[in-house]
Every structure is written in C-alpha cells, then in structure tokens.
Amino acid sequence: MKVTLVQMNSIDDKAVNLANARALIEQAVQQERPDWICLPEVFDFMGGSRADKMAAAEELPGGPAYEMCSELARKHKVFIHAGSILEKIPDEDRLHNTSVAFNRDGKEVARYRKIHMFDITAPDGAKYHESAAFKAGDAVVTYDCEGFKIGCAICYDLRFPYLFQALAQQNVDIVALPAAFTLVTGKDHWEVLCRARAIEMQAYVCAPAQTGSHKAGHETRFTYGNSLIADPWGHVVAKASEGSGLVSSHIDLDRIRKIRAMIPVSQHRVKLPA
C-alpha cells in the first residue's frame, strides 16, 4: 500500500487552509498515486483566538472540511485520513480535536478525538493550555484499510506509550499521527519519539505535521514540520523537507510480519504486580 503524508502551514483563515489542503491532495493524487493520504493536525484552522476557533469549528458529520475530504476521497477513490478538524460539541464551550477517516467511497470509517491535552509551558516560555479550549476524547480507535489495521493518535498523544500499547494490543499495522509539534520541542523530541513508538509497536508510524508560523492572539508561534514515516524497525523511510508539501512511501505488510516473527514482543508481555 502506498501512503502520502501532507505537510501544511495552516493559519487562522479556514478558506485559505481548505484551498491549500485541496490543492495538496490533488497534487498527491496526480504525482504520487497513493492508496491512503493523511493530513496534519488542525489542518482546517490553526491559531487565532478562542472565539475564532469556535467560529471555525464544524458539527460532524458535515461542515466544509469534512465534506471536502469526503468528496476528494470519493472523487479519487483514495482513503483520506483528515488529520484533525475542529469539532463543535453540543451545549459545550469547548471543542474536540478530531480525526476523521474516509474510505474510497467517501464514507466515514473512523472518528478519533484527541485524548491528551497539551497543557505546558515550553522551554521558550510560551504557554499552551489546550484543555481551556478543547475537551479530551476517551476512546481508542482503529479502522481497516484494505487489510491494514490503522490506529489513531494526535500530536501530544505521542508522549503516552500506554495509548500505543493499547493500539498494539489491537494488532495495528500503522499508526496515523497527525501533529502540530512546536519548534522548540520538535527539534529534540519529534523524531526520537516517533521512532520509539514504531519500534515498541513493531508498526509503521505515519506522522504528517504542521510547519512554519501562525498567529495565536498577538503571539507568533512556530511548528516543527519534519513529517515522517517510520517503519517497524524504527528506520525513517521518508521525511519531508521544510515548507508545505508531500512525503510518500510504501507500507509493507510482509516487513511487519518478519519483524514481529524475529522479535515476538507481543508474546513476551507480562502483567506486572500492582
């Protein structure tokens, strides 16, 4: 199966973001001819104020970002994993950060809401308080992609190995990890964590990321980019350069099986005493 990751520089203008996402998906189909395309985290809207986020959010199913991905999946007969979309919650003043996957017919096959909220003060002093605007999800989500089992995670989830162990126990072959890692944390932690999760799970990690700058209130923030695909041995088999663009690779089910047979980690798990 061939996969393509879309790297974007989303901003606080939804129309611009959706136009860019559409163009990159069309480019991917024309140049790469993939079976599965994955967009980055919050590809539809990034930055702005809390009120701006609420205004840009969608009620799922439906909304411009959701419908665009469904339409393009159906038009090009390709799976599209819509990185994450800002999702409205009825009777709530917070949002979900939500991945939606569509099959080749444009039908929704999975919906995952980000579980772990990024509430930190970064080394550069920037404060992030995701839980003020976003409500955490609580479900582990997988779906079938023509014989490949795909598990869902988003950005900060990467730092919590128990989520990935829960996915491993469901025998996923690929983890879709759309992200918007900060520049400061990304340069030291992004690749090593992606590779570690791939090694632990003996699965591919497909991690499309946001890159470049965006405005959050009066502050300019920077994301790390470096979208990558790590194989089950922990090798980075494809990686994006700077700027918006595409990165592709083939996913080999036989390679997954050979590595799991060589080091049968799943058979060696033990339950430790409390």
Looking at the annotation, which residues are catalytic? 41, 114, 155
- Cα–Cα distance between 61 and 68 in angstroms, integer? 12
Helix (H, G, I), strand (E, B) or coil at 131: helix
DSSP code of 271?
P
User: What six digits make up the tokens of 98?
Assistant: 């939500």
Contacts 24+ apart (CB under 8 A), 219-226: 219/126, 221/47, 221/126, 221/182, 222/182, 222/183, 223/9, 223/180, 223/181, 223/182, 223/183, 223/186, 224/181, 224/182, 224/183, 224/185, 224/186, 224/187, 224/190, 225/7, 225/186, 226/186, 226/190, 226/191
Collapse the DSSP code of 25 into the 3-class scheme (helix H, G, I; strand E, B; otherwise coil) and give the result: helix
CA distance 140 to 84: 15
Maximum Cα interatomic distance, the chain, rounded to a whole number of Å: 54
Instruction: Tell me the CA distances in angstroms from 82 to 66, 99, 111, 117, 189, one per residue in order.
Output: 8, 6, 10, 19, 24
